[in-house]
Structure 1
């Protein structure tokens, strides 16, 4: 198996072990043919994003122990579907993106410039960009 690549061209970094995320629940935003939703964008969720997601029919904040899902709270990292990220950006509620942990296949759906506009550093701080 080839190593996964992030949107910056480097090795894909883990997104979150707590809560455990990823389509394959391996902590990374890996993808494959089985992942129809392309859960490839590592985000740091916000209250605004969680409210939008719930409004759109995907309640990510309510725990579902039967699926080993603890429910998300603001500040949690999560592998988000690329199309949902794009939709959230269009609704001005996009969460922050951890570029090093976002899979390169995201670029099939979301432009790199849009990801960069919402990028944070590896520890969750907003990245400073030169003017």
Structure 2
């Protein structure tokens, strides 16, 4: 893997491998030319966020066996679209994020101060 940077300017670390996340399903929130939604924010799921994204038409909690997708539950980590995280922020349900595993491209859509405010400690 080519070295990718996180929002801190250091080497991007894996977000989660169980369940396997990332646009490329390699555990990393990295992006490429075909990733039009820019899945670069490593977030820890909360019930409030899962309910919100389901209400927006993106049900992340229901398993889809044919795609080997187990469905997410609160506490799971997942690479989110930067725009979806921003929408959740605007309505007060943004999940906590892992800065070391959030790709630097998130800063094209989100402010570092917003990301830092939601850092998982």
TM-score, L = length of structure 1: 0.91
5 Å matches for 1:11-90?
11-90=11-90
Shift, 1:19, TM fit: 0.4
Runs of 5+ consecutive residues of structure 2 not aligned to the other structure: none
Q: Residue in 1 aligned with 2:107?
A: 107
Cα separation, 2, equivalents of 1:75 and 1:30: 21
Shift, 1:2, TM fit: 3.7
Cα separation, 2, equivalents of 1:91 and 1:71: 23
Aligned residue for 2:87, secondary structure, equals helix
TM-score, L = length of structure 2: 0.98
Shift, 1:96, TM fit: 0.3
Aligned residue for 2:58, secondary structure, equals coil
Q: Residue in 2 aligned with 1:91?
A: 91
Aligned residue for 1:41, secondary structure, equals strand
Q: Deviations over 1:42-89 (max 9, x none)?
A: 000000000000011100000001111000000000000000000000
Question: How many residue pairs get matched?
Answer: 121
Q: Where in structure 1 do 4 or more consecutive aligned residues deviate above 6 Å?
A: none
